């Protein structure tokens, strides 16, 4: 596998880096606020087994909401579609990712999709296992396999920081427990969810995971099926309809590929049958997406005609 820095990507990064000044690092999870807002990196994993990268590509970051796609894939594989979609819907909300408002009014009464916090918490609650550590092992081993990196782990400081401050997510959990959508101990779920969100890697690992989705669930190195095709398709469809929060419509217009962002400033994007893309740019716009990361994707999409539409 050839992996190298790429001049053209370096130019693009240099062009958009100044945008980071117009964004803001997320600090509602206190430990996330410590990063350098001017960081920016991109890796592009060509399924023909070449990986190009640029910027601060060695920097690690936590996946945050990007992890929601991975937990969804795992739970769909372990539990099946009928079980999962009985408890979580398939519709975009147009609301911020942590919104509580539609939980009460939607019919039937369940989170609208697995990419908002309510839906993701319900999904994490479905990870099978006899205790927290057993569930965690299932998830992290799956993520290590997707990244082809057995070293992938979680950032304990970020996990602890979110665990201590996640009052709104706790509220979402209690509401859903009342309505029979989630079950079991909420504190255990919060620990599993905050570890999940704090899984850390660099943009290369993330691009590699994107490449698995680009290949409909196949390992780009071995050809092994890591995620069945129908489940990879479901994940990519959610990425298109809900992956960039309440900016998903505009992103579909301007870039037009499945992508998922996280408040750490990560973005995983997928150009079907071609590339997996991993981006890290922690300065966010007002909707919580990496401000320079979006611009990078838009430039690449224009130049190489990425849009699937
Ligand atoms: N861990 C974060 C939360 O639940 C993830 C949110 C995000 O990345 N949008 O608030």
Model pLDDT for residues 229-241, shown as the tens digit of each residue: 999 999 999 999 9
Q: Which residues contact 29 (CB under 8 A, 6 or more apart)?
A: 158, 161, 162, 165, 166, 263
CA distance 68 to 178: 23
- Averaged pLDDT for residues 180-207: 97
Least Cα distance to 185 among 207, 170, 206, 203 occurs for 170
pLDDT value, residue 93: 80
Q: Considering only CA atoms, give the Rg of the chain.
A: 18
Asked whether the predicted pLDDT for residue 190 surpasses 80, the reply is yes
Note the pLDDT of residue 105: 75
Q: What is the pLDDT of residues 50-92, one digit of tens each?
A: 899 999 999 999 999 999 999 999 999 999 999 999 999 998 8
Q: What percent of the chain has pLDDT over 70?
A: 99
Which of 33, 125, 194, 262 gets mutated to test ligand 1 (max ligand atoms within 8 A of its CB)? Answer: 262
Q: Is the CB of 117 under 6 A from ligand 1?
A: yes
pLDDT at 102 over 80: no
pLDDT > 90 in the chain, percent: 89
pLDDT of residue 95: 78
What value does the mean pLDDT take over residues 163-173? 95
Q: How far is the CA of 67 from the centre of ligand 1 (A)?
A: 9
Residues at the binding site for substrate are: 65, 117, 162, 169, 193, 245, 263
Between β-strands 50-55 and 2-5, what pairing exists: parallel, antiparallel or unpaired? Answer: parallel
Q: Please tell me the pTM assigned to this model.
A: 0.96
202 CB near ligand 1 (under 6 Å): no
- Report how far ligand 1's centroid is from the alpha carbon of 198 (Å): 10
CA of 263 to the centre of ligand 1 (A): 6
* Distance between Cα 26 and ligand 1 center (Å): 10
What digits encode the pLDDT tens for the residues 249-264? 999 999 999 999 999 9
Q: Where are the domains of the chain?
A: 2-61+201-304, 65-197
Looking at residues 27-38, what average pLDDT do you find? 94
Pocket test for ligand 1, best of 67, 93, 116, 117 (most atoms within 8 A of CB): 117
Please state which of the four CATH numbers 1.10.357.10, 3.40.50.150, 3.40.50.2000, 3.40.710.10 is assigned to the domain occupying 2-61+201-304: 3.40.710.10
- Kindly report which listed range (78-82, 141-145, 193-197, 246-250) carries the lowest average pLDDT score: 246-250
Query: Which ligand 1 atom is nearest residue 288's CA?
Result: 9
Helices (H), the chain: 7-16, 67-79, 81-87, 101-105, 117-124, 132-147, 156-165, 167-178, 186-197, 203-214, 229-242, 248-254, 291-304
Q: Does 98 have pLDDT greater than 90?
A: no
pLDDT at 97: 80
DSSP string, 50-79: EEEEEESTT--EE-GGGHHHHHHHHHHHHH
| Sign of torsion over alpha carbons 141, 259, 72, 289 | positive
Is 114:166 a contact under the CB 8 Å cutoff?
no
pLDDT of 107 higher than 80: no
List active site positions.
Answer: 65, 68, 193, 245, 263
pLDDT band at 14 (very low <50, low <70, confident <90, very high): very high
**CATH 1.10.1500.10, applies to 65-197:** yes
């Amino acid at each position: 596998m050839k992996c190298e820095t790429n001049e053209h990507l370096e130019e693009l990064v240099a062009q958009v880096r100044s945008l980071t000044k117009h964004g803001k690092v997320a600090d509602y999870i206190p430990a996330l606020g410590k990063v350098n807002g001017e960081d920016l990196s991109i890796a592009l994993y060509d399924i023909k087994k070449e990986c190009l990268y640029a910027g601060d590509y060695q920097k690690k970051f936590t996946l945050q909401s990007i992890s929601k796609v991975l937990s969804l894939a795992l739970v769909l594989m372990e539990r099946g579609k009928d079980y999962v979609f009985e408890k979580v819907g398939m519709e975009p909300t147009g609301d911020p990712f942590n919104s509580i408002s539609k939980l009460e009014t939607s019919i039937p009464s369940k989170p609208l999709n697995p990419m908002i916090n309510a839906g993701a918490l319900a999904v994490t609650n479905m990870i099978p296992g006899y205790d927290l550590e057993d569930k965690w092992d299932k998830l992290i081993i799956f993520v290590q396999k997707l990244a082809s990196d057995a070293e992938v782990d979680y950032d304990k400081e970020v996990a602890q920081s979110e665990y201590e401050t996640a009052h709104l997510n706790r509220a979402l959990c209690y509401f859903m427990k009342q309505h029979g959508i989630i079950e079991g101990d909420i504190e255990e779920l919060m620990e599993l969810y905050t570890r999940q969100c704090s899984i850390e890697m660099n943009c290369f690992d993330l691009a590699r995971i994107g490449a698995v989705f680009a290949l409909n669930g196949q390992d780009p190195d071995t050809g092994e099926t890591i995620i069945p095709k129908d489940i990879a398709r479901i994940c990519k469809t959610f990425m298109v309809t809900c992956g960039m929060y309440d900016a998903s419509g505009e992103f579909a217009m301007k870039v037009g590929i499945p992508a998922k962002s996280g408040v750490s400033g990560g973005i995983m994007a997928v150009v079907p049958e071609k590339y997996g893309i991993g981006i890290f740019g922690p300065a966010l716009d007002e909707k919580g997406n990496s401000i320079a990361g979006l611009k990078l994707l838009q430039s690449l999409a224009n130049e190489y005609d990425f849009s699937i539409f």
